[in-house]
Amino acid sequence: MPPVTRREFMAAAAAAGACALITCPSAPAPAAEKERLNVLMIAVDDLRPELGCYGVPGIKTPNIDRLARNGVVFNRAYCQQAVCSPSRTSLLTGLRPDTTQVFDLETHFRLTIPGTVTLPEHFKNNGYHAQGLSKIYHGGLDDPQSWSVPHWAPALRQYANPETLADMEKRRQQLRAQGRRVNAQVLQSDPKTGTALKVRTGINVKGPAWEAANVPDNALIDGATAQRAVETLRQIKDKPFFLAVGFLKPHLPFVAPKKYFDMYPLETTRLAPNPQPPKDAPEIAFTNWAELRGYTDIPKQGPLSDAKARELRRAYYAAASYTDAQIGKVIDELERLGLRDRTVIVLWGDHGWQLGEHGLWCKHTNFDIAARAPLIVSSPQGAKGARTDALAEFVDVYPTICELAGLPVPANLEGRSLAPVVRDAKRSVNTAAFSQYPRGKVMGRSIRTDNYRYTEWAEPGKAPEAVELYDHRTDPDENVNIAAKPEHKGLVARISKMLRDGWKAAAVK
């Protein structure tokens, strides 16, 4: 554990006693602390709700499914923007992108809303030990004041194949020799903490899009993270804690031990059922999936072959099953320590992911498949083995965890507590969920209601230049944009007003 300054120690002691930053396994916790619910928050990068507990056959996620049997699965949970940092920022601050002003991967929310109190920070301020492992905030944009001890991330590389690593290093050296920048450049830092507030990303030298590594689980980043989480639980078990554990896979590159690839024979891997663009959808709704095209085995332009698409889908599933196994190790240790019955567990994927649907890959859109993500809440106070169609947003996670743990809910949050739904899966608190995605000066704003997804693409203060409307009762895969049909003119006007009225007007009455 890194050394703790006297200032850090005194601040933590005032909030939670001197044991907040040091391990005191032999000292019994005060009775009041024993009664407090712990929080284990599990964040999974790029995980879409293609899981056994979401009713998808053939996907091997037994540990996430086990968690679902002890909690509530939100079938319709939506991120605020389908890309890592804006989504995570909204969830961890309880504020929407228009408030955080974080729309990219280079801006820290402490630059735009410096005084905000994050979800883990709120627990820390209320006497909890708050600790973060691996990717919770976006890489390079961690928030030190959120944690009781410094954030930890494994010092491992994404790939395991020595030839791949050697080739990538060779290309980095070539770029450096040309005067090209391959590392992120910090443009602005917090003068007090040194936190990077504004960065400029360098050239991301990549290898292949997937790799079946002949290594044990803990030789890769997520296996090492699970191991660290198990060790951390043993250290903090005697005090109230907020432990956030982040797993990288199935984020690109899809690297996992070979045994997880063996679970998914290539010849039985199915392609996306709707590889064509939605009929009458505007061009601005699409991307060229540049994130994937940077890998060495992916063409720079044009569609993927069926063979490559099948490879990638198989590798995504293998990476998801690898992370599922690591999640199982963490939950097993929580149970072994006797903490399961007094711990709220919340698992979320930071957004959805396109695996060839509409001819798209990665995220970066307002389509339902990019904005919809897994959300599972298991609470000692909550329902068990329940699934709900209640609409949920990621900004709802902050107030939900506070209410379930018995902490006050900050007044400035821009979401609603889902605790009533966690206790009774038949309840609902939202009539709509809102997402957005920028394209240069144009912002795409989307609303998901019980039956429809509606999106307007417009520059600020101007009329929409493109509109989308999908009827999920008859077209759940969003294959036909019906916004321009004359018979839907009134419907478009009504949903457009709901979009403009915003989240405050979307409470269940």
Supply the pLDDT for residue 184: 86
Please check the confidence at residue 31 and state whether its pLDDT lies above 70.
no
Quote the pLDDT of residue 32.
Answer: 45
Q: Which amino acid is at 17?
A: G
Q: What is the pLDDT of residue 161?
A: 95
CA-closest candidate to residue 175, choices 206, 135, 153: 206
- Which two tokens mark 113? 């809303």
Q: What is the pLDDT of residue 7?
A: 36
Reply yes or no on whether the pLDDT at 199 is more than 80: yes
Do 40 and 245 meet the contact criterion of CB atoms below 8 Å apart?
A: yes
- Distance, in Å, from the CA atom of 68 to the CA atom of 52, rounded to the nearest integer, reads 10
The token pair that represents 158 in the structure block? 């994404």
Q: For the range 415-421, what are the long-range contacts, defined as Cβ-Cβ under 8 Å and sequence gap of 24 or more?
A: 415/94, 415/503, 416/507, 418/74, 418/377, 418/390, 418/392, 421/72, 421/74, 421/388, 421/390, 421/392
pLDDT(5) > 90: no
Residues 81-128: tens digit of each pLDDT: 999 999 999 999 999 999 999 999 999 999 999 999 999 999 999 999
Residue 2: pLDDT band (50, 70, 90) is very low
Would you place residue 4 in the very low, low, confident or very high pLDDT band (cuts 50, 70, 90)? very low
Contact 345, 37 (CB under 8 A): no
Report the pLDDT value the prediction gives residue 192, as an integer from 0 to 100. 85
Whether pLDDT at 257 is above 80: yes
**C-alpha closest to that of 446 among 424, 425, 468:** 468
Q: Domains (ranges, CATH) in the chain? A: 6-155+213-431 (3.40.720.10)
Give the pLDDT score at 194.
87
Mean pLDDT check: name the lowest of 20-24, 374-378, 402-406, 467-471: 20-24
What does the pLDDT average to over 146-154?
97
Q: Which of 490, 491, 469, 471 is nearest to 481 (CA)?
A: 469
Catalytic residue list: 84, 138
6, pLDDT greater than 60 = no
Q: Under 8 Å CB-to-CB from 43, ≥6 apart: which residues?
A: 88, 135, 136, 244, 245, 246, 247, 347, 348, 349, 350
Measured in whole angstroms, the distance separating CA 271 from the mean position of its chain's CA atoms is: 24
Look at phi and psi of residue 489 and say left if phi exceeds 0, alpha if psi is from -120 to 50, else beta.
Answer: alpha
Each residue's pLDDT tens digit, 34-76: 478 999 999 999 999 999 999 999 999 999 999 999 999 999 9
Instruction: Evaluate if residue 346 carries a pLDDT over 50.
Output: yes
pLDDT at 290 over 80: yes
User: Of residues 16 and 185, which shows the higher confidence score?
Assistant: 185
If we measure between CA atoms, which residue out of 322, 247, 255 comes closest to residue 45? 247
E strand spans, 358-432 = 361-362, 375-378, 386-393
Model confidence at 286: pLDDT above 50: yes
Residue 257 burial (CB count, 10 A): 22
Flag whether pLDDT at 340 surpasses 70. yes
CA dihedral over 227, 136, 353, 70, signed as positive or negative = positive
Q: Is the pTM of this model over 0.85?
A: yes
% of the chain with per-residue pLDDT over 90: 90
The band of 183, judged by pLDDT with boundaries at 50, 70 and 90, is: confident
Distance CA 311, CA 295 (A): 14
Residue 190 or residue 135, greater confidence: 135
pLDDT at 215: 97
